């Protein structure tokens, strides 16, 4: 039993030391071949589309942009352009406005094997964009394996703006991205990823694509790198997601992805050190909910000085950590309310799905909500607050005496 706040602080600091010890832009493409756009535009400025084709960077590459009429991709492209050395392209679509489908083919350097791989024009990457027009400005449109996955899920359905937007968002959610078509991946090199002009979202996207190549290498063994290997992985993802409207990736595919991610982002790898991106991708195919930790009100004349406890998580849920150390990623467990100034430590065990936490507040507080906890839930899994079990809770006052006050999770 902890006898004083001073001792609590010493214990907490000792635990923290123990935890740490145990831790382990560019220009547009050329070569434009223009085909007259359907007459559904207005008399204003032309519609301009630009973006990046990547699995990694596709260069040399050919990009074709197709109109969507009555929910169906047209057979003749509005425009055909070439990628530049950064995989970027720009296309003038004339007066066209509405949904489009983009196809990209060409060559890229495989991130896992450093071999040059060809994407055949007969089996290209796809991206469906819900709406373009002169009013949207120069629309940014990425074409990647993730946009291809989204397209494959609706290719047999009507390509309406609503279907396109919903499916792109569904894939983005699985891979912890905000926008798979509006965010442009960059060249998968540490010097590029670390540039101040590159956003966190771009880093996550770029590393996710590199991880797909590593998955292909892991599955293929000594077989030469091919785009068909990546397409096979995307096909497995599609089968998982096609199981139901809310289905995510199956556990086997999640495990294969996270194992490949570990290789791609290992400290000795060329893409190591981007911990924020790596920690996000460790939780692919999971949604998030926020739990609130609360404690009862201290009796008159006393203040709460410390709280500890263990929370058991139900199957299909987890907590975001930095690597395998068990240390929680920043922002996952935050103090709140009048306990905002508290010192808190926590460690999560993935094998037992348990979180041990301890909080100390030297000046004391009266009680109430004292922390929030971010939980990842695997897509397709249903979990409510009642599924999270709190045990071993203890509350002490600023004098170090045990207080008979309940701690709850809500």
CA pair distance 342, 354, nearest whole angstrom: 22
Distance of CA 24 to the CA centre of its chain: 23
Q: Which two tokens stand for residue 371?
A: 């922390």
What count of residues does the chain have? 410
pLDDT along the chain (410 residues), means of 10: 45 44 38 42 79 98 97 97 97 95 98 96 97 80 97 94 94 93 96 96 97 95 92 96 87 92 93 88 83 96 97 91 78 91 94 96 96 85 91 96 96
State the pLDDT at residue 24. Answer: 35
State the pLDDT at residue 245. Answer: 84
Q: What are the sequence ranges of the domains in the chain?
A: 5-22+286-409, 37-281
Please work out, in degrees rounded to the nearest 5, the angle formed at the alpha carbon of residue 18 by the alpha carbons of 14 and 23: 150
Burial of 158-173, coded b for 16+ CB within 10 Å and e otherwise, reads ebeeebbbebbbbbbb
Q: H or E segment at 346?
A: strand 343-349
Question: Dihedral (C-alpha) 144, 145, 148, 152: value to the nearest 10 degrees?
Answer: -170
Contact 48, 139 (CB under 8 A): yes
Distance of CA 251 to the CA centre of its chain: 17
CA pair distance 384, 164, nearest whole angstrom: 30
> From 2.60.40.680, 1.10.1660.10, 3.40.50.360, 1.10.150.120, which CATH number describes the 5-22+286-409 domain?
2.60.40.680
CB atoms within 10 A of CB 177: 23
State the pLDDT at residue 275. Answer: 87
State the pLDDT at residue 4. Answer: 45
Q: Which of 184, 182, 113, 124 is nearest to 151 (CA)?
A: 124
State the pLDDT at residue 330. Answer: 79
SS3 content of the chain, % helix, strand, coil (to 5): 25, 30, 40
State the pLDDT at residue 21. Answer: 41
Q: Is the sign of the CA dihedral 364, 368, 372, 378 positive or negative? A: positive
State the pLDDT at residue 247. Answer: 85
Contact 106, 84 (CB under 8 A): no
State the pLDDT at residue 30. Answer: 39
3-class SS at 271?
coil
Alpha helix (H) ranges present in 265-349? 275-281
Q: Which of 136, 134, 139, 129 is nearest to 163 (CA)?
A: 129
State the pLDDT at residue 325. Answer: 75
**Which residues lie closer than 8 Å to 403 by C-beta, 6 or more apart?**
298, 299, 302, 304, 395, 396, 397
CA pair distance 334, 155, nearest whole angstrom: 43
CB atoms within 10 A of CB 340: 12
CA pair distance 100, 70, nearest whole angstrom: 12
């Amino acid at each position: 039993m902890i006898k004083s706040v001073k001792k609590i602080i010493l214990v907490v600091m000792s635990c923290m030391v123990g935890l740490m010890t145990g831790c382990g832009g560019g220009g547009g493409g050329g070569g434009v071949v223009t085909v007259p756009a359907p007459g559904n535009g207005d008399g204003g400025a032309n519609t301009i589309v630009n973006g990046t084709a990547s699995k990694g960077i596709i260069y040399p590459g050919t990009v074709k942009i197709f109109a969507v009429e009555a929910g169906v991709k047209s057979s003749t492209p509005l425009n055909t352009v070439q990628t530049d050395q950064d995989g970027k392209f720009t296309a003038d679509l004339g007066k066209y406005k509405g949904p489009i489908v983009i196809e990209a083919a060409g060559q890229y350097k495989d991130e896992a094997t450093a071999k040059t791989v060809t994407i055949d024009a007969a089996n290209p990457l796809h991206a469906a964009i819900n709406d373009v027009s002169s009013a949207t400005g120069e629309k940014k449109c990425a074409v990647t394996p993730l946009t291809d996955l989204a397209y494959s899920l609706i290719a047999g359905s009507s390509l309406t703006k609503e279907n396109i937007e919903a499916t792109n968002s569904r894939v983005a959610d699985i891979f912890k991205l905000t926008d798979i078509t509006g965010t442009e991946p960059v060249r998968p090199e540490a010097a590029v990823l670390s540039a101040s002009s590159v956003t966190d979202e771009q880093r996550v996207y770029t590393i996710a694509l590199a991880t797909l190549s590593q998955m292909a290498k892991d599955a293929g063994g000594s077989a030469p790198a091919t785009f068909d290997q990546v397409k096979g992985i995307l096909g497995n993802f599609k089968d998982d997601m096609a199981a139901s409207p809310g289905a995510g990736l199956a556990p086997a595919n999640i495990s294969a992805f996270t194992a490949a991610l570990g290789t791609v982002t290992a400290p000795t790898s060329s893409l190591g050190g981007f911990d924020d991106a790596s920690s996000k991708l460790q939780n692919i195919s999971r949604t998030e909910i926020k739990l609130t930790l609360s404690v009862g009100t201290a009796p008159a004349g006393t203040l709460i000085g410390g709280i500890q406890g263990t929370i058991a998580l139900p199957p299909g849920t987890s907590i975001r950590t930095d690597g395998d150390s068990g240390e929680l990623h920043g922002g996952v467990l935050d103090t709140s309310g009048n306990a905002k100034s508290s010192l808190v430590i926590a460690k999560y065990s993935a094998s037992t799905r348990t979180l041990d936490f301890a909080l100390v507040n030297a000046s004391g507080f009266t009680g109430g909500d004292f922390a929030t906890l971010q939980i990842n839930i695997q897509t397709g899994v249903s979990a409510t607050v009642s599924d999270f079990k709190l045990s071993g809770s203890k509350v002490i006052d600023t004098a170090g005496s045990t207080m008979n006050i309940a701690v709850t999770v809500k």
